[in-house]
Amino acid sequence: MAMTEHTFSMLQRDITRVDAELVQRAAEFQAAILADVAGRRGTLHGRVKPLSARMKVAGPAITVEVRPGDNLAIHAALAIAQPGDVIVVDGKGDQSCALIGEIMSTQAQAAGIAGIIIDGAVRDADALTQGAFPVFAAGLNPCGPTKSVAGRVNHPVSVAGAAIQPGDLIIGDTDGVVVLPRAEVAALLELAQKKLDGENRRLQAIRQGDIRAPWLEEALRAAGMLTSGETL
């Protein structure tokens, strides 16, 4: 009985997801913009990359923790995830065995899952790269996984240096992946729009000949690289 209760607790089915309307709005921004307004934190290590530069993903996190080289818990996550979810796997950065390949990604796409992000290896890269389903991974390996070691689904995880709670917002594109805490998403999207508007104004100014950053001299003085009254 104790084993049954323990096993059940490792697989959480009911989570609170970031609102679908917020996911749709967030998908319009680059991961870089969202990372900036989130305080330049919440980004996964740069080793986790899309298999194709055109791949983008946005959605609430289904969190998975596995033992290196075993994907049993990922199969469980595929079984309980809802359309629009993003499966995010703490694979410990291990690249000795692939955790998913073409079959699992095809299953995920057919189930309406928005994408899979793994701090670990995948395989069948040729098929995955040619496909439209977003897969982000730390590397490749032709070796297949085992399916026998208990993992955890929908518990707090740390994936490639980023803390993620089930239901948090995941955004990934060619620059990488950022996670936004669910409770902060609405406020961060307002900041993201202001930042994007400001960056667009700066780009337009550069194209019109205003090349030097307007904040540069003040920052140089604050850092001691220019004295008071000195200019570039």
> Any binding-site annotation on 3?
no
- Three-state SS string over the chain comes to CHHHHHHHHCECCCCCCCCHHHHHHHCCCCHHHHHHHCCCCCECCCCCEECCCCCCEEEEEEEEECCCCECHHHHHHHHHCCCCCEEEEECCCCCCCECCCHHHHHHHHHCCCCEEEEEEEECCHHHHHHCCCCEEEEEECCCCCECCCCCEECCCEEECCEEECCCCEEEEECCEEEEECHHHHHHHHHHHHHHHHHHHHHHHHHHCCCCCCCCHHHHHHHCCCCCCCCCC
Determine the Cα–Cα distance for residues 167 and 15; give it in Å rounded to an integer: 6
> Any binding-site annotation on 167?
no
> Any binding-site annotation on 55?
no
> Any binding-site annotation on 28?
no
Q: What length is written for the chain? A: 232
> Any binding-site annotation on 1?
no
> Any binding-site annotation on 123?
yes
State the binding site for substrate: 101-104, 123
State the binding site for Mg(2+): 124
State the binding site: 101-104, 123-124
